[in-house]
């Protein structure tokens, strides 16, 4: 049998390559951070989700080691059988405290948090109203559930209002949005969403994976930015980006919602607990980012500095409200050439083009981090200017 199937796969793979969509992994031979080693080359990393620079933080490593020594390597169980240590409970409480919510449930990843949030909470007679640019895991979670599905154009409040009107016959409705949209770096207009939700009787869910630790004065995410902490019904997020970058996800929010998820959410009921080392480092991490905001402050000032210098240099940069800076090039090939030239200058960024972003909107996405020092930013700015002039993106 495999012969024919192999032929089929080989054709498909060839199609992917021909379309220029084949993904290759770049192999890193150092720890994650601002300076990494890729294929024997030392480069500055501007494409990591390590927003607070915690992926290689000595205190988190120490906390992880302590738990390895005292609580072992793995749990070998789902949470409700024998996979819950005090560490998991403490981490859940720290997350709720950070976001100003009532309770939290941990998952192996945010992909699972989103995959397991809709099916247990909403039924055929309900409605899910989802932003068109929401993360793949939200789309999959919605697919696994039975409610009527509505989609509104990215952050378009007039369109959302139409969908809310259309869904009035349904029993319950929930508006679902990413906090930060990862290709543009724009933030969901949660203040306006809140007003519409009240007017049309809808719940709200925000995925803070890209915004937690980053957005808001103290990094509490989009609910902090709009001063509505604790007023959103469901927040999902990841421990795999700003919060240390290891592994793990969570849903935090109203007490009864979390309680129901513990009864019926399938990725929670049927998948393993996160390891004690990750839980203990997570506890330490939430203590660190709650005690002081110096990492959040550094990230904000790095982003402001980089974006303002890029605009000064003449680049077309999307307005950002996060640590994502989209440098618009509009041409797919140019975005790839630009990224390769930058790599030669020791700057590691990724060029994105259709279908990851709309056709004709190719760009380079720069991700800033608290791990970046001023000399890193300046080196990147000099490289951008050099390559920008050589490729005639900015005037020579
Ligand atoms: C990264 C991301 C996820 C997935 O997070 P994992 O914990 O890696 O599964 C989910 N939602 C959004 C919006 C993300 O950016």
Q: Which atom of ligand 1 is nearest to the CA of 238?
A: 7
240 lines ligand 1 (CB under 6 A): yes
Nearest Cα residue to atom 6 of ligand 1: 110
Q: How far is the CA of 184 from the centre of ligand 1 (A)?
A: 16
Cβ pair 229, 156 in contact under 8 A: no
111 lines ligand 1 (CB under 6 A): yes
360: left (phi over 0), alpha (psi -120 to 50) or beta: left
303 lines ligand 1 (CB under 6 A): no
pLDDT of residue 19: 87
Q: How far is the CA of 140 from the centre of ligand 1 (A)?
A: 12
CA dihedral 305, 311, 314, 316 (to 10 degrees): 130
How far, in Å, CA of 147 to CA of 150, rounded? 10
Testing ligand 1's pocket by substitution, the residue of 113, 131, 137, 213 carrying the most ligand atoms inside 8 A of its CB is 137
pLDDT of residue 20: 82
Instruction: State the residue for tokens 């003449």.
Output: 314
In 3D space, the residue among 388, 376, 274 whose CA is nearest the CA of residue 43 turns out to be 376
CATH value of 58-291 in 3.40.50.300, 3.30.1330.10, 3.40.640.10, 3.40.50.620: 3.40.640.10
Cis ω on the peptide bond leading into residue 355 (within 30° of 0)? Answer: yes
178 lines ligand 1 (CB under 6 A): yes
Q: Which atom of ligand 1 is nearest to the CA of 178?
A: 13
Residues annotated as part of the active site: 182, 210, 241
Cβ pair 328, 317 in contact under 8 A: yes
CA dihedral 245, 250, 253, 255 (to 10 degrees): -140
249 lines ligand 1 (CB under 6 A): yes
21-50+293-390 maps to CATH 3.90.1150.10: yes
Q: Which atom of ligand 1 is nearest to the CA of 107?
A: 7
Strands 347-348 and 41-45: parallel
Strand order in the sheet with 203-207: 103-107, 249-253, 234-238, 203-207, 173-178, 127-131, 148-152
Is the full-model pTM beyond 0.85?
yes
Domain boundaries, the chain: 21-50+293-390, 58-291
Q: How far is the CA of 251 from the centre of ligand 1 (A)?
A: 12
In 3D space, the residue among 4, 80, 30 whose CA is nearest the CA of residue 270 turns out to be 80
Walk along the chain (396 residues) and give the pLDDT tens digit of each residue: 999 999 999 999 999 999 888 999 999 999 999 999 998 899 999 999 999 999 999 999 999 999 999 999 999 999 999 999 999 999 999 999 999 999 999 999 999 999 999 999 999 999 999 999 999 999 999 999 999 999 999 999 999 999 999 999 999 999 999 999 999 999 999 999 999 999 999 999 999 999 999 999 999 999 999 999 999 999 999 999 999 999 999 999 999 999 999 999 999 999 999 999 999 999 999 999 999 999 999 999 999 999 999 999 999 999 999 999 999 999 999 999 999 999 999 999 999 999 899 999 999 999 999 999 999 999 999 999 999 999 999 998
Instruction: State the residue for tokens 């700015």.
Output: 381
């Amino acid at each position: 049998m495999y012969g024919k199937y192999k032929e089929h796969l080989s054709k498909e793979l060839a199609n992917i390559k021909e379309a220029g969509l084949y993904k290759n992994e770049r192999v890193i031979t150092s720890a994650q951070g601002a300076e990494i080693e890729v294929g024997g080359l030392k480069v500055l990393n501007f494409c990591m989700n390590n927003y607070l620079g915690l992926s290689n933080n000595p205190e988190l490593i120490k906390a992880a080691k302590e738990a390895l020594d005292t609580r072992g390597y793995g749990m070998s169980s789902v949470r409700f059988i024998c996979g819950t240590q005090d560490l998991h409970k403490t981490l859940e409480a720290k997350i709720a405290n950070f976001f100003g919510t009532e309770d939290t449930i941990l998952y192996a990843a945010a992909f699972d948090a989103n995959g397991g949030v809709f099916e247990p909470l909403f039924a055929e007679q309900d409605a899910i109203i989802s932003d068109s640019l929401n993360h793949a895991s939200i789309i999959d979670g919605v697919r696994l559930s039975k409610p009527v599905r509505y989609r509104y154009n990215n952050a378009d409040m007039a369109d959302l209002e139409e969908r809310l009107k259309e869904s009035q016959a349904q029993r319950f409705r929930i508006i679902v949005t990413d906090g930060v949209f990862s290709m543009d770096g724009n933030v969901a207009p949660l203040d306006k969403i809140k007003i519409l939700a009240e007017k049309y009787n809808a719940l709200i869910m925000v995925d803070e994976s890209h915004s937690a630790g980053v957005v808001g004065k103290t990094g509490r995410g989009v609910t902090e930015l709009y001063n509505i902490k604790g007023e959103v019904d469901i927040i999902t997020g990841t421990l795999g980006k700003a919060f240390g970058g290891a592994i793990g996800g969570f849903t935090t929010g109203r007490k009864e919602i979390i309680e129901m998820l513990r009864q019926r959410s399938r990725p929670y009921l049927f998948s393993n607990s996160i390891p004690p080392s990750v839980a203990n480092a997570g506890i330490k991490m939430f203590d660190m980012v709650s005690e002081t905001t110096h990492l959040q402050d550094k990230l904000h000032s790095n982003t402001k500095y980089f974006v303002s210098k890029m605009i000064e240099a003449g680049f077309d940069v999307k307005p950002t409200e996060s640590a994502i800076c989209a440098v618009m090039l509009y041409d797919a090939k140019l975005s790839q050439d630009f990224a390769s030239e930058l790599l030669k200058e020791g700057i590691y960024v990724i060029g994105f083009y259709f279908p990851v972003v709309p056709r004709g909107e190719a760009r380079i996405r720069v991700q800033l981090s608290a791990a970046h020092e001023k000399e890193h930013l300046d080196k990147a700015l000099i490289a951008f200017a050099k390559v920008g002039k050589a490729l005639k993106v900015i005037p020579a």
